[in-house]
Structure 1
Amino acid sequence: MSPPTQTPQATPELNVIALISGGKDSLYSILHCIRNGHKVVALANLYPSTSRQAPSTAAKGNHEHPKEEKEDEGGEEEEDIDSFMYQTIGHSVIPLYEAALGIPLYRAPSSATRSIHPSSTEENKQHLQDETESLVPLLRRIQAAHPEANAVSAGAILSTYQRTRIENVASRLGLVPLAWLWQYPVLPAPAERSTVSAVSSVVGDAGYWRIWLLAGVRRGSSRRIVNGMRRFAAPEDLRGAVLGEGGEYESLALDGPGFLWRSRIEVCETEVRTGEGGVGYVRLKGARCVPKTAAEGDGITPQSVRRPMLLDEAFARVLDEVRSVSGSYGGEAQAGSISAGRIECEPRQLRNGGIWHICNITAPEAGTEAAEQMKAIAGKIRTILQSSTDLPRSTEDIIFATVLLRSMADFASMNNTYVSLFKKPNPRQEPQWPAEMSSLKADSRQGLHVQSRSYWAPANIGPYSQAMSIPLRGAERIVYIAGQIPLEPASMQMVCDSAPTVEQSWLSGYSLRAVLSLQHMWRIGAAMQVDWWLGAVAFITGAENIAAKARVAWHIWETMNSQRDDESVDEEESTFDVWDIKYGRRAEEQTTKARVSAPIPNFEVLRSSGVIPPFLAVQVEELPRASDIEWQGLGYHCDGLELNAEEIDQGRTTKTITEQKAGYTIIEIDMEKSESDLKSSLQQILAAHTVTPALTHAVIYTTGAFPLDNWPGEVVPCKSVWGHRGSRLAAGIIFQSLEP
């Protein structure tokens, strides 16, 4: 297998304000800002205030430093080692970074109390005393001095608490948030690990940790830290503990590569101290900057800072497989077209198990303009929600939405009205077809809303989340994942194939895009603790190679959902990889008793074998950003499920039933059926699946203009539909149910 050589491409330069604590992660993030072609124009730092009740006293002006914090009677600076947001140990060294890096430094006291409300959905309810609020006047002062600044970087790796608060401040100030280390997935190269020289200041059992307080964070020491952390952290908490995300230890960067560090910081004297609760920390005295000489050149350039490969190993492997069997995707079919006849469908509602689906909302009476139709549709949805007889409902309760447009050119005109529906970061837009709307609503929910650019997965924009999950019964949760297109996460640009072959240029590029967008869905699913995919739809576009595109998508889906012969759960569990733990992919902070995420698919929950989760490929006219593929998946978190597939008179059905009796069925109606047979087939399917109170959702993807008067759910017109193994279909139908 060839290595996954694709790495993020260059992106338009951003002018970055780097939030620094002095720790290894915030300084390491600056290296990645430079590596990705951006310019760091200012450093920002909050230090602990001697008075927690006082407002910020940051100095005014372009480049003045506030008076440093007062000293106590012993002539030593006060330490605050309990901040949830910021590293404060060693803060007295921070002023030296301006000279060491040659970048203007701006500081202000953190005068607020700590907030304990980490929900990403509460961005409009920031507590007045939240620590993050001290950032606002500081960043505004920097923006006044550096009007070109348009981004802010932070060193968050697993801390949802830190990331979401910085994203909130960034959005309020019009800054692009950057979190290069978020969910950082791979082992950095040896040269990269030496690009920041740091001293560890460990917070923990002072007697045990004393030997670590002066340890450099260099090659090998991280493994020793992991072994030490085993004494204090449960396995499910170990990832965060190794990083020091919970305050287990902190570090202070003293040196780094010459392209960033003009000087190194030397410390003349150190003193180990013990605080309350056995907390140990180091006091650094006599710190000073020492200019580097030409003889000290390290030869490290920005290009030496290695970024994670674009593709995980499993996805790189399937990309190679697709490209190696390119000749097997032949049998081209002519591109389809949406029926000239209008597909009539009535507004529908389904309610069961706390789930409320509202489908097929249109507004032809509003005229032909998309913006006016969206205003009318929004009004109708508000009216429907307000009609709820059990509890008051509003658009804030919507967790998933689909907007169908005649053309992507209409998106900008309707988007202002659309986003006004959502005051919390919940749903986002999906593929585009003729103007209709369906939405889903439920009570309890958990969301994933990552706005920062990183190497992990594409950042969301505005109120559109990557995923939302809701509980059904017991511990089971259903996870709705937004459609994913092949954006490079670091640049937010469409991925480019660097070396397509002449004879298979379309396949080389398309397969990369198909694999990358599915990887995005996989990573988001892992962050939401998905065990199994109930199903997925690959939306494809174009006038050529449609059959081949559908077969490629199926090949990728089948491969990623198949258990490999060489997979061994026991081997995986017995191998403890330090750097996988340090840079593990997880979107939510884990607490005691939280489970360690299993891989997707998690075959331990499967009670059957030999069946691939259901798949549809649906040809549409256009997708966002002119993409030719978008994956949309429905994930499930559970302890057990059964998957069965069988051939039926109309074609093929694949059904998933969970231990708590939640059902997901996809029915593939063969293309060979005549028009009269298709109508008859649809009637039989309706009789078999819709006359039940257990039904929670129904959707049909179809190219035909046949009557759908009795169809109980959502209707999606499309140009062509493809199913299992890339076979051409007359229609694809999805039913979701929840048995009493």
Structure 2
Amino acid sequence: MYQTVGHSVIPLYEQALGIPLYRQEIIGNAVNSERDYSTPRSQQEQDETEDLVPLLKKAMLAHPEANAVSTGAILSTYQRTRVESVAIRLGLTPLSYLWQYPLLPPYSQSQLLHDMAAVGQEAIIIKTASGGLDERILGWNIAVQSTITKLQKAMARFGEESNGAVLGEGGEFETLALDGPKPLWKKKIRIEPGAAGVSEGGQSVLKMRASELEEKGEESDERSGALRIPDMFDDEFKRVLDEQENSNDTRSFISDDATLLSEPVAKTSSTFDDLSRNASTDTPTVFTYSNLSDTSRSSTPSSPSPSRQLTKILLRLNHVLKQWNLSRAGINHCTLLLRSMSDFTVLNPVYGQYFSGVNPPARVTISVGDSMPEGIDVMLSIVIDKDAKDRKGKVVRSVSRQGLHVQGRSYWAPANIGPYSQAISVRLPWEPSQSEASSGEVVYVAGQIPLIPASMAVYTERGFKGQATLSLQHLWRIGRAKGVRWWTGAVGFIPSGENPEEKVKIAQAAWRAIHSPSSKRPDGDEDEDEDNEDNALDIDPWDRRNTHTALFNDTTHRPPIPDLSALTTTHATPDPSQLPIPPCFVVQVESLPRDVDIEWSATGLTSPSISFSRSPLAPLSITHPTNGSSRFYTLEVRSAEGTDVLRHLGQESVQDWTSATLYAGPGFGYEDHAKFSLRGVQWVPCKRVWGEGGRECAAVLVGRCDGGGGDGGHGWLGERAEACGTRGEGCAGEELGARERRQGR
């Protein structure tokens, strides 16, 4: 596919492999050159990708048992998205087990070539198109050490490292498979090479005089080794999981002076009825539509079915978007709340028909059970980042929306199991005096659950600790793929059940551990000496004698999260060696997709310079891309008085939230919510809510405000901190904590 050199050998594969071959002439052209493929709207000029449809239909008709399409895409999003588009439309499962292979343990670009050699694969180079590669390398088997070394030396000489060049992922070379493991290859192919052809552009092509099949001898059995499956866990997450399993620490994270709601607050069925629904908010940068629900009442005693409710919600959403001149293709994040997770299989197709674009929004789906207002079975909240326009409607600043939508099974991270993207990133608004790239992007990541990527089965081997760690690893791998440098905050959802406090402790321990110094370096710098010894075995002797020759760094670079080089913090810690950690909260809901025990949700930033601070008085954090106008807040509402912080934020900077989520527990003071603005806020009804350190609280707010003016809430909090400094330690300010202390909370 997408390769013409050596095509005359293709008919031999049918006999060599012993499986049917189906071929068809390509009629279309490369009409769609975008990275992410979308189906052409017009048939007048058909894209070449669409020629796969009748070809696969022909194969499916002859072989009804066929249910999947395999693709060899390693780093090429261009190829992967095209195969996935066609396969999904035909009801076939895309298999992409080589996807992101260099980023999997042991994090080596050439590991795939070594794994090919281990099972007896033979693939020769038949075309070169890169500096340093010429006709002399044509016909060489890439699955042998001498060829691997030659490729590494050539790529190092031209500075093409860490981009898959040694695997030919940038078009550096093309290969032709001639033999492989005996269970698959019944015969092998032998070619008679001719003279190499060299074009004016420096490309070299291996010409073939003839090709034929040969019987495989017994020596092929000896060459076939065991197929290596990449490890499930990255090194740093394996370390986190091992440390948790080996830990005997039974201490609580809660400090001695912490106030704790010892028992969950009793909830009535109307607890959440006072919070607003179907609320739209339009700011210059973001449009939100929060807690959409079907408020109509059926003429019959029973409520409309959940699917009917969702249909009416989407019709309402479509109508509102048209009123605001917005497109559903611009929706970047959705929160889907269900009364019962058993409705998910019915609702997902309805949802998917609406979000059928090439990069649907990232999504979090949870069931909240009877916490849902009476008569409501489904609610939806959406976020749209908007282009900035002048008074004439001309776009003066584009958000540059980019999606990560992997639908194929791999060893990397779970394929999306519904009509959503793993992540959507959009450019943040930037200050007029700064460049566009200086503000970075906000990355909305879909809720991550502990699925084994290769099989999409729920991971159960190591209990809740294993589920919490694996789903957190999914978050990290997706974040790295999108360039995340810092999380503005994370929320772990856990389902109802016994001993939730233990799950809260484990989840927050995993979050803290992956930010600890022993786990923060994903590129393996702590094992540098050991890595150097391994790499030395692969260095050509000539290179060892002539040190002026550039040596190839075969280790795949995996950017660290958090990237501390981009971070500045004003939060003083008692221990100078302690690293800043983004806030992490845990909330309990009714149930989660696939009946898993945890789902992680987080928003990331790619900004090159990020300021992070915590208030010494209130459980408040502020993350601020230095060159942008956005501020990201997290706040624990531990009692009714906690709403005073929100009220003061509103007086100083957050008149209206650009977008925010309120995770509200039964103890939230709903009668006090009028003290602060809920515009731009979606709410998630929870059974219980835990803040940082395992302290149970009434609610948690995670929000964003763009260009609100003021000082981001530092004024009032700064005054209270200064008052504490003059009045002695322990002062929390009359407005924040006096009543709490009087009530003994």
Q: Give TM class, smaller chain.
A: 0.7 to 0.9
Q: Matched residues in 2 for 1:716 and 1:249: separation?
A: 52
Match of 2:634 in 1: 666
Q: Residue 548 and residue 512 in structure 1: after superposition, are their counterparts in 2 closer, same or farther (change >3 A)? A: same
**2:143 matched residue in structure 1:** 218
3-state secondary structure, aligned to 2:683: strand
What is the deviation of 1:733?
1.4
Matched, 1:460 2:428: no
Opposite residue 355 of structure 2, the aligned amino acid is: F
How big is the shift at 1:647? 3.7
Change (3 A) 1:328 1:480: same
**1:653-676 CA distances to partner (integer Å, 9 max, x unpaired)?**
122111123211111233xxxxxx
Give 1:664's aligned amino acid: F
Aligned to 2:285: 354
Inter-CA distance 134–699: structure 2 relative to 1 (3 Å threshold)? closer
- The CA RMSD measured in Å over matched residues stands at 3.0
Q: Verify the 8 A CA contact 1:206 1:280 in the aligned structure 2.
A: no
Q: Equivalent residues in 2 for 1:164-179 (5 A)?
A: 164-179=81-96
The residue matched to 2:560 in structure 1 has which SS?
coil
Distance 1:174 1:727, change over 3 A: same
Asked whether the 8 Å contact 2:622–2:634 carries over to 1, the reply is yes
User: 2:483 and 2:130 mapped to 1: Cα distance?
Assistant: 32
Shift of 1:214: 2.3
| 1:315 is aligned to 2:241 | no
The answer on 1:415 being equivalent to 2:337 is: no
Q: Is the 8 A contact 1:120 1:448 kept in 2?
A: no
Listed as ranges, the matches of 1:102-121 within 5 Å are 102-120=18-36
176-185 or 246-255: bigger deviation: 246-255
One-letter identity of the residue aligned with 1:439: I
Structure 2 residue 370 is the aligned partner of structure 1 residue 448: no
- How many angstroms apart in 1 are the aligned matches of 2:237 and 2:96? 23
1:682 aligns with 2:638: no
Give the alignment of 1:282-321 within 5 angstroms: 282-294=206-218, 296-298=220-222, 300=224, 304-321=226-243
Q: Are the aligned partners of 1:485 and 1:629 in contact in 2 as well (CA < 8 Å)?
A: yes
Deviations 1:230-257 (A, max 9, x none): 344555xx51422212321011111111
SS of aligned partner of 2:658? strand
1:664·1:735 contact (CA, 8 Å) conserved in 2?
Answer: yes
Distance (whole Å) between structure 2 residues aligned to residue 119 and residue 205 of structure 1: 22
Aligned equivalents of 2:649, 2:30: Cα separation in 1:
56
- Name the stretch that deviates more: 480-489 or 286-295: 286-295
Specify every segment of 5 or more residues in structure 2 that has no aligned partner in the other structure, as ranges: 255-261, 373-377, 387-398, 431-435, 540-551, 572-578, 710-745
In structure 1, what residue type is equivalent to 2:177? A
1:73-152 alignment to 2 at 5 Å? 86-120=2-36, 122-123=38-39, 125=41, 128-152=45-69
Amino acid paired to 1:488: I
The 2-side partners of 1:156 and 1:336 are apart by 52
Match of 2:701 in 1: 733
- How do residues 171-320 of structure 1 correspond to structure 2 at under 5 angstroms? 171-184=88-101, 185-187=104-106, 188=111, 190=114, 192-195=116-119, 196-204=121-129, 209-220=134-145, 221-232=147-158, 234-235=160-161, 239-294=163-218, 296-298=220-222, 300=224, 304-320=226-242
Could you tell which deviates more after superposition, 107-116 or 460-469? 107-116
Distance 1:191 1:178, change over 3 A: closer
Deviation, structure 1 residue 402: 0.7
Distance 1:208-1:260 versus aligned 2 partners, 3 A rule: closer
Contact 1:607 1:643 in 2 (8 A): yes
Q: Tell me the amino acid that sits aligned with residue 442 of structure 1.
A: D
Q: What amino acid is the match of 2:599? A: E
Are the counterparts in 1 of residues 12 and 212 from structure 2 also a CA contact under 8 Å?
A: yes
Name 1:636's counterpart in structure 2: 605
8 Å Cα contact 1:431/1:483 also seen in 2: no
Alpha-carbon deviations, 1:593-612, whole Å to 9, x = none?
xxx87322111101127321
Deviation at 1:175, TM superposition (A): 1.0
**Do the aligned residues in 2 keep the contact of 1:90 with 1:252 (CA within 8 Å)?**
yes
| Residue number in structure 2 paired with 1:34 | none
Q: Deviations over 1:302-348 (max 9, x none)?
A: xx211111110010000001111154266997778755333121133
Contact between 1:202 and 1:212, CA under 8 Å: does it hold in 2? no
Quote the residue 1:158 is aligned against.
Answer: 75
AA matched with 1:245: E
- Structure 1 unmatched runs, 5+: 1-84, 498-507, 585-595, 671-677
Return the letter of the residue paired with 1:286: A
2:686 alignment counterpart: 718
1:345 aligned onto 2:275: yes
Give the direction of change, closer, same or farther, for the CA distance of 1:268–1:539 in structure 2 (3 Å limit).
same
* 3-state SS of paired residue (1:264): strand
TM-score (norm 1): 0.78
The alignment status of 1:551 with 2:484, answered yes or no, reads no
Q: Which moved more, 1:445-454 or 1:287-296?
A: 287-296
The alpha-carbon distance between structure 1 residues 119 and 183, as it changes in their structure 2 partners (threshold 3 A), is same
Distance 1:481 1:566 in 2: 20
> What is residue 501 of structure 1 aligned with on the other side?
none
1:432 matched residue in structure 2: 367
Tell me which amino acid in the other structure corresponds to 2:12: L
- The change in CA–CA distance for 1:442 and 1:581 in structure 2 (over 3 A counts) is farther
SS class of match (1:451): coil
| 8 Å Cα contact 2:487/2:604 also seen in 1 | yes
The alpha-carbon distance between structure 1 residues 652 and 106, as it changes in their structure 2 partners (threshold 3 A), is same
Aligned to 1:394: 327
In structure 2, what residue type is equivalent to 1:186? P
Query: What's the secondary structure of 2:15's corresponding residue?
Result: helix
Distance 1:565 1:495 in 2: 22
- Corresponding residue for 2:664? 702
Offset of 1:565 from its aligned partner? 8.8
Give the whole-Å Cα distance in 1 for the aligned partners of 2:656 and 2:144.
57
Amino acid aligned to 1:538: G
- Find the counterpart in structure 2 of residue 623 from structure 1: 592
The residue that corresponds to 1:71 in the other structure is: none
- Structure 2 residue identity aligned to 1:599: P
Alpha carbons of 1:446 and 1:125: their partners in 2 closer, same or farther (altered >3 Å)? farther
Contact 1:350 1:358 (8 Å CA) reproduced = yes
Give the Cα–Cα distance (whole angstroms) in 2 for the partners of residues 452 and 464 of structure 1: 13
Deviation track 1:385-416 (CA, whole Å, cap 9, x = no partner) reads 2221xxx2232321111111111122233333
User: Is the alpha carbon distance of 1:322 and 1:361 closer, same or farther for their aligned partners in structure 2, counting shifts above 3 Å?
Assistant: same
Matched to 1:679, the amino acid is: A
State how far apart, in whole Å, the 2-side matches of 1:207 and 1:416 are.
51
Cα contact 2:132–2:155 (8 A) shared by 1 = no
Residue type of the partner of 2:665? T
Measured in 2, the distance between the counterparts of 1:442 and 1:217 equals 46
Partner Cα separation in structure 2 for residue 286 and residue 166 of structure 1? 31
| Alpha-carbon distance in 2 for matches of 1:419, 1:214 | 48
Q: Report the secondary structure of 1:287's partner residue.
A: strand
Query: CA 1:297/1:437 → structure 2, altered by over 3 Å: closer, same or farther?
Result: closer
- 1:338–1:717 CA contact under 8 A, matched in 2: no
Counterpart residue type for residue 407 of structure 1: S
Aligned partners of 1:614 and 1:264: how far apart in 2? 57
Q: 8 Å contact 1:339–1:703 — kept in the other structure? A: no
User: Hey, what's the Cα distance between the residues in 1 that align with 2:567 and 2:331?
Assistant: 31
Q: Is the 8 A contact 1:263 1:291 kept in 2?
A: yes
1:524: how far off?
Answer: 0.8
Q: Deviations over 1:64-108 (max 9, x none)?
A: xxxxxxxxxxxxxxxxxxxxx522221111111122111111222
Q: Structure 2 CA distance, aligned partners of 1:615 and 1:101?
A: 52
What is the deviation of 1:694? 6.7
- Residues 587-635 of structure 1 show CA distances to partners (whole Å, capped at 9, x for unaligned) of xxxxxxxxx8732211110112732101110111100000110001101
Q: In the aligned structure 2, how far is the partner of 1:311 from the partner of 1:334?
A: 37
Report the residue type matching 1:341 in the other structure.
S
Cα deviations by residue, 1:182-229 (Å, 9 ceiling, x for unpaired): 001234485653321121123226885122112211232223212202
Any idea what SS the aligned residue of 1:548 has? helix
